[in-house]
């Protein structure tokens, strides 16, 4: 088995490990000599539904029973289960719940997966309820107005809130001060079951590609390409990168926003 100094002997928790980007990341890490504790709804070492409080608690308890960990990769998401519950609250609960155990590693790393959907117009009231940790209020706002957040809806809102949460907490004593790098990888359209609603309908596919072209790499991207970036950010070789939202999207974000951050 090939191994790699930044990964060998390390243990990673991966949520969403049964499919797509999570499965590709798990395969790469295993190839490089790491141990993976996969978590998903089915077909994983740990089966837990991260859209519920009980499922999140169960994930933490089960990982603690495994012992030490070196990386937490919060990849589970999409539209199978509650949009805000899974993509924001599930991811944040995974990261915060496992943080104390992770902090005991000599080179602790965490990555969450967001999306270019986080760039879409949003509903700030719901984003704020997420950041306040008020799940009941956030979900009630979205239930009352499912069109909130426009084209990317609750999914885009959840990913926007996740980006903002990571920007806030990554440089604090609990994360950077404890030696933990915490970053976001935000993919564009990638060929996985989560994007089937876009990719399997020629009209939707053409519309999305026209609105958000991916000039480098093509449309859609491949899960392995995103997994490579997640792996490096989560490796012991990442000694200086934290608090970043890195778009793995074939240039889609750069096309959409241009030099807006630097004006
Ligand atoms: N595919 C894309 O185009 C794309 C683009 C941007 C972001 N993403 C994000 O990438 C991540 C991975 O998605 P993917 O594209 O590999 O899709 P996928 O559907 O192949 O994989 C997602 C996995 O998450 C698991 N999951 C969903 N809800 C869960 C829950 N409540 N509890 C536990 N596990 C749950 C699913 O069972 C599945 O195995 C997601 O966060 C998704 O939002 C995907």
Q: How far apart are the CA of 17 and the centre of ligand 1, in A?
A: 9
State CA 220 to chain mean position distance.
18
Nearest atom in ligand 1 to 114's CA = 7
Determine which one of 12, 88, 141, 155 is catalytic: 155
Nearest atom in ligand 1 to 51's CA = 31
Q: What is the pLDDT along the chain (263 residues), one digit of tens a residue?
A: 556 888 999 999 999 999 999 999 999 999 999 999 999 999 999 999 999 999 999 999 999 999 999 999 999 999 999 999 999 999 999 999 999 999 999 999 999 999 999 999 899 999 999 999 999 999 999 999 988 878 888 999 999 999 999 999 999 999 999 999 999 999 999 999 999 999 999 999 999 999 999 999 999 999 999 999 999 999 999 999 999 999 999 999 999 999 998 88
82 in any annotated domain: yes
196 in any annotated domain: no
> What is d(CA 59, CA 51) in angstroms, rounded to the nearest whole number?
11
Nearest atom in ligand 1 to 91's CA = 41
Pocket test residue of 194, 200, 246 for ligand 1, highest count of atoms within 8 A of CB: 194
Q: What is the pTM of this model?
A: 0.97
Q: What is the pLDDT of residue 2?
A: 54
Q: Looking at residue 23, which CATH number applies to its domain?
A: 3.40.50.720
115 in any annotated domain: yes
88 is annotated as an active-site residue: no
Q: How far apart are the CA of 77 and the centre of ligand 1, in A?
A: 4
Cβ atoms of 115 and 161 closer than 8 Å: no
254 in any annotated domain: no
Q: What is the pLDDT of residue 175?
A: 98
Dihedral sign for Cα atoms in the order 241, 174, 108, 86: negative
Indicate whether residue 25 lines ligand 1 (CB < 6 A). Answer: no
Residues constituting the chain: 263
Domain count, the chain: 1
Q: What is the DSSP string of 114-129?
A: --GGGGS---HHHHHH
Q: How far apart are the CA of 16 and the centre of ligand 1, in A?
A: 6
Q: What is the pLDDT of residue 49?
A: 98
Pocket test residue of 13, 45, 77, 188 for ligand 1, highest count of atoms within 8 A of CB: 77
Q: How far apart are the CA of 263 and the centre of ligand 1, in A?
A: 34
Indicate whether residue 40 lines ligand 1 (CB < 6 A). Answer: yes
Nearest CA to ligand 1 atom 40: 77
Q: How far apart are the CA of 19 and the centre of ligand 1, in A?
A: 7
Nearest atom in ligand 1 to 52's CA = 31
216 in any annotated domain: no
32-35 long-range Cβ contacts below 8 angstroms, 24+ apart: 32/2, 32/3, 32/4, 32/6, 32/7, 32/8, 32/231, 33/1, 33/2, 33/3, 33/4, 33/7, 33/8, 33/9, 34/7, 34/8, 34/9, 34/10, 34/70, 34/71, 35/10, 35/11
Indicate whether residue 194 lines ligand 1 (CB < 6 A). Answer: yes
> What phi and psi, each to the nearest 5 degrees, are found at residue 121?
-55, 145
Q: Which residue range forms the structural domain that includes residue 179?
A: 4-188+221-248
258 in any annotated domain: no
209 in any annotated domain: no
205 in any annotated domain: no
């Amino acid at each position: 088995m090939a191994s790699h100094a930044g990964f060998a002997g390390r243990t990673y928790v991966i949520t969403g490990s049964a499919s797509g980007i999570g499965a590709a990341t798990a395969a790469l890490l295993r190839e490089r000599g790491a141990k993976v504790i996969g978590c998903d709804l089915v077909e994983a070492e740990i089966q837990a539904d991260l859209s519920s409080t009980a499922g999140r608690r169960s994930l933490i308890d089960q990982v603690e029973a495994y012992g030490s960990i070196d990386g937490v990769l919060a990849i589970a998401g999409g539209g199978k289960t509650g949009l805000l519950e899974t993509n924001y609250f599930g991811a944040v609960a995974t990261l915060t719940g496992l943080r104390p155990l992770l902090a005991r590693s000599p080179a602790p790393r965490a990555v969450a997966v967001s999306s270019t959907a986080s760039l879409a117009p949003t509903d700030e009231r719901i984003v704020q309820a997420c950041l306040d940790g008020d799940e009941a209020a956030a979900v009630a706002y979205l239930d009352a107005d499912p069109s909130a957040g426009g084209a990317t809806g609750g999914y885009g809102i959840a990913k926007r809130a996740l980006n903002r949460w990571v920007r806030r907490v990554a440089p604090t004593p609990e994360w950077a001060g404890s030696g933990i790098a915490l970053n976001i990888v935000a993919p564009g359209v990638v060929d996985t079951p989560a994007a089937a609603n876009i990719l399997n309908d020629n009209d939707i596919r053409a519309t999305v590609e026209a609105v958000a072209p991916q000039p480098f790499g093509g449309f859609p991207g491949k899960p392995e390409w995103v997994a490579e970036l997640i792996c490096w950010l989560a490796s012991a070789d990442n000694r200086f990168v934290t608090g970043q939202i890195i778009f793995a999207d074939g240039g889609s974000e750069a096309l959409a926003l241009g030099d807006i951050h630097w004006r």
